[in-house]
Chains A and B, each alone.
Chain A
Amino acid sequence: MLEARNIVKTFNTGTVNEKKALKGVSLTLHDGDFVTVIGGNGAGKSTFLNAIAGVWPVDEGQIIIDGKNITKFPEHKRAAFLGRVFQDPMNGTAASMGIEENLALAFRRGSRRTLKVGITNSERTLYKDTLSRLGLGLQSRMTSKVGLLSGGQRQALTLLMATLKQPKLLLLDEHTAALDPKTAKKVLDLTQEIVNNQHLTALMVTHNMKDAIQIGNRLIMMHEGQIIYDVAGEEKKALRVEDLLRKFEEASGEEFANDRMMLAK
C-alpha cells in the first residue's frame, strides 16, 4: 500500500535555524492498516504526514503508493490517492462555500475539473444521504456556508470529504486536538466507523496515548525525526500507557514526563 523509504527532510538548511525534521524514516503499510502515530513535540509526526502528502519536496527517499512512485508528484496530484484531515478545523474546508459545494469539490478529487456543472442533482441526493448518517443535522443545511459551522461539525465534514472518494491512504493529523473532549470523541468514533466500513488504510497522528493504543491495529512512536517503536496486533492491544512511557525512555534516553501533552487523557 504505502511504502516510505528512507525519507529525509531538513528545514532551513545551512542557517542557524537548521532543523533535521526527518532523518531517514522508512515505513511500509499493508492494505487495511490503521496506524496511530505518537511522539513528543517536534518528533516529526506531522512532518512525516506532510512528506507523504507532498506539501514540499523531500530531500531524500521515496514514497510509493500502490506500487506507484509518487515522490516527484506535486501536492495536488498526490491528492488523487490521499484523503487528509488537518488539526485546524479551518484548514479542511472552504468557509465561504456551501456544505454541498465543499462535498462536490471533494467528490472530484483525482479527476480533471472541466466545464461541466460543478454539482449535479444526483450528487445532492448522495450528499444528503451521507450527511444524514453523521447525525449532525447537516443534511437540512446543504447550502449553508461552511464558515457558519462549529469546529466539530467542520471536522466531521472534512472527514467525510476526505473519504467521499475512497482514498488509498487516509492521513489524519491530530484531527481531534483542537476540539473539546466530547466533540473530539464523537469525531474519533466517526473516524473509526468510516475507516472500518470502507476498509481504509490510515495514518493517524495523536497526542492521546490511550487513543493511540485503543484505536487501530498498529502503533508507531517517533522521536527526533525517526521511528523508534513499531508495534502491531496482539502485542499492541496489550499495551498500557506506562509501557509506552517506558519504551520512550528506553529508546530516547529521556524522561517523557516533561512532555505533558503526551499524558493527556
Chain B
Amino acid sequence: MASLFNALPGAAAQGLIWGIMAIGVYLTYRILDIADLTVDGSFCTGGAVCIMLMLGGQNAWAAMFGAILAGMATGLATGIFHTFMGIPAILAGILTQLGLYSVNLKIMGKANQAINVDKFDLLVSLRFIKNVPFVNNTIFIVAVLIVVLILILYWFFGTELGCSLRATGCNDKMARAQGINTDFARVLGLMLSNGLVALAGALLGQYQGFADVNMGRGAIVIGLAAVIIGEALFGKIFHNFGFRLLGVALGSIVYYLVLQIVIWLGIDPDLLKLLSALVVAFFLGIPTWKARYMKGGLADILGKGKGR
C-alpha cells in the first residue's frame, strides 16, 4: 500500500501532462470530428525539440515555445494532406506520423536524448514532486498551465474564428453555405491541436529527463481514453465548454491513477497497452450500442458521439 501511495503524486503529475495532450485530442476528435493520428508523432516532436533546444542552451520557456511551433507545423502537414490533397483525415494523420519518426530521429540525432536535471533549469521534473517549494512543484505548475490553456481556448472558441471551427466540425455543408472556409478551419484546428500535443510532449520530456523516439506511441489512445473518461465521469456535471475541457484533463489524471493501481495490483506491464486499447474500444462502442439497442439516446439528438 505504501508503494501505491508513493506512486500516486507521480501518476497525478503524468496525468496532468497527458491531460494537455488530451485537450489537444479533444479539439480534433470532438470539435472538428476528425480522429487525428498525427499526435503519436507530434508528441515526440514536441519532446525532441524541447530537449534539443534546452541542450543547446535555451531556457525552458523558449524551448517549450519552440516545441509548440514544431507541433503546429506537424498539424499543418496533416492539414495539407487532408484538405489540399484530399486524403482522408485518418490516413493523412498516419502519413504524417510515419514521416515524423524520421524527422524526430533527425532532430535528436539518435533515438534517445537525455537531459540532466542537475545541470539544466527544467520547469518540471519527477524530482520536483516531493520536498520542493510548492510553487516549484510539478503538479502545481502543470495545473496552472492547464487552467491558463483552458482559459485561452475558452476565449478562442467564443470568437468568430473559433465559432467557424466549431461549425465546420458540426456541419461542414452548412459552414460553407455560411461562407466559412472549411479547409482553412480544419488546418487551423489541426495546428492548434498538435501545438498542444507537442507542448505536452515537451513537458513529459523534461519530466522524465529524456526524449525518446517512441515516447508518443499510442498517444492517441491515451488521449481518447482521457476524453472518454472525462465525459463519462463529468459530462453530466460539466456543460460549459471550459469545464468540459477541464473534465478531459481530469479524465487523464483518472486514467493514470487507475493505471498506477493496476500496476500495483501486479498485472504484467507488458499487457498495459493491450488493456488500454480494449478499454478505449469498449467505450467508443457505447454510442453505437446505445443507438442500436436503446431508443432516443442523447447522442442521436445532438448528432455527436458517432464517427462519420
Chain A residues with CB under 8 Å of chain B are 53, 74-77, 79-80, 82, 84, 86, 90-97, 101, 104-106, 108-111, 113-119, 145, 147-148, 161-162
Contacts and interface: CB of A to CB of B under 8 A. Distances in A.
A117 B166 contact: no
A76 B174 contact: no
Interface string B170-199: 110111111111100000000000000000
B106 interface: no
B178 A109 contact: yes
Contacts of B182: 76
A118 B163 contact: yes
A119 B161 CA distance: 11
Contact of B177 (A53, A96, A104, A114): A53
Contact of B162 (A96, A108, A118): A118
Nearest to B177: A84
Interface residues of B, number: 26
Given A96-B166, A115-B160, 12 more contacts: A75-B176, A82-B177, A90-B303, A92-B177, A95-B302, A95-B304, A96-B303, A97-B166, A97-B167, A101-B163, A105-B175, A113-B161
A111 B180 CA distance: 9
A114 B180 contact: no
B158 interface: yes
Contacts of B156: 115
Contacts, number: 99
Contacts of B173: 86, 91
A214 B231 CA distance: 52
Contacts of A90: 171, 303
B301 interface: yes
A95 B174 CA distance: 10
A105 B159 contact: no
Interface centre among B170, B182, B304 (most CB of A within 10 A): B170
Contact of B176 (A79, A104, A119, A148): A79
Interface centre among B164, B178, B179 (most CB of A within 10 A): B178
A47 to B, nearest CB: 16
Contact of A147 (B159, B175, B301): B301
Interface string B240-255: 0000000000000000
Contacts of A145: 302
